[in-house]
Amino acid sequence: MSTRPHRLPLVPLGRAVLDRAAERRADLDDLGELLADPDTRVLEVVDSHCPVLDTQEGPRLQLRAGRPGDSARLPVFLGVDDERHAVVALVGVMSEVVTPAVETPDAAPWRTLREVGEHLPDAEVALMTTALALHHWHGTHGHCPRCGHPTVPARGGWVRRCERDGSEHHPRTDPAVIMAVVDDADRLLLARNVGWPQGRFSVLAGFVEPGETLAQAVEREVLEEVGVRVTDVQHVGDQPWPFPNSLMFGHTARALGADLTLQEDEIAEAMWVARDDVPRLVEQGIWIPTRSRLSISTHLMEHWYGGPLLP
């Protein structure tokens, strides 16, 4: 069958390299002392943006020393850098702050992970990906799911604890599957979600449901969305996707038939694409494959195509 390598090449957010030094979290209910240490490096997060400098080598996160008042900004202990210095993200929203108005350290522009994630060094992509996921989690889990009482951060920001019943709550990650489905003629299945603009087709994706394996989620999603049964589901790569808190599991799968029956409230259009037709489809604007190489979908499509889909 295929001569393609089984695994995807490293996808951008899957390059993350971070020593989380998780054993230190137990002593870090309060990060005040750590923030006062002049060796500690601080990464600010405001409204899903971080300060990023444009350098000749590409974008680089701008970290700074701790400052008075940082403790009030909800510090999270991300881990330690190459020199064993603690790295702390400030993930709480600053009051009365709108992103463009707040001054960044050394006037670095505020950038999103979507803008810079592909070009950050491996260690920095880890810091920003992790910080954003925790930023969102803290911002949306302020109350105890058991009793509704407010929760407070603990253990370096990796736990929220209910002060009424003592229950502890951990950052949430939602698994999702994304799959390159091919038919017996090695054509790739592409679909356009309702709500996407004309020409934007991608591979199918969906969240894993409770009680499912990854492969079962792939089989169910493809059947639900386009009415196709698949087999030979293979996991080929994954990456965190903190928009806001997913983990994307990339798969390939083989269709058992080519007839498409669309789930109308989800899928506006779907089509099988032959490799030889790709240049024409792209040139005519029938398929606008991607503008970003950050998503694993791009890598799945290029893995099938055997080369870049856009110059």
Judged by the rule CB under 5 A, the positions of this chain that interact with Zn ion are 144, 146-147, 149, 162, 164-165
Establish how many alpha carbons lie within 13 A of residue 111's alpha carbon, considering only the half-sphere containing its beta carbon. 22
CB of 57 to Zn ion, least distance (A): 47
* Residue placing its CB nearer to Zn ion in the complex, 4 or 161: 161
* Residue placing its CB nearer to Zn ion in the complex, 160 or 299: 160
Cβ count near 98 (within 10 Å): 9
CB of 134 to Zn ion, least distance (A): 20
The tokens for 83 are 């020199």
CB of 152 to Zn ion, least distance (A): 11
> What's the CA angle centered on 293, arms 290 and 295, to 5 degrees?
90
Cis before 105? omega within 30: no
Q: Which residue is nearest to Zn ion (CB)?
A: 144
* Residue placing its CB nearer to Zn ion in the complex, 166 or 195: 166
* Residue placing its CB nearer to Zn ion in the complex, 147 or 194: 147
Strand residues in the chain grouped as ranges (E): 41-44, 50-55, 58-61, 75-80, 86-90, 110-111, 151-154, 159-162, 168-169, 174-182, 188-193, 204-207, 230-241, 246-255, 267-273
* Residue placing its CB nearer to Zn ion in the complex, 168 or 232: 168
CB of 165 to Zn ion, least distance (A): 4
Sequence-distant (≥ 6) Cβ neighbours of residue 38 within 8 angstroms:
65, 66
CB of 168 to Zn ion, least distance (A): 10
Bridge partners of residue 77, in order along the sequence: 88
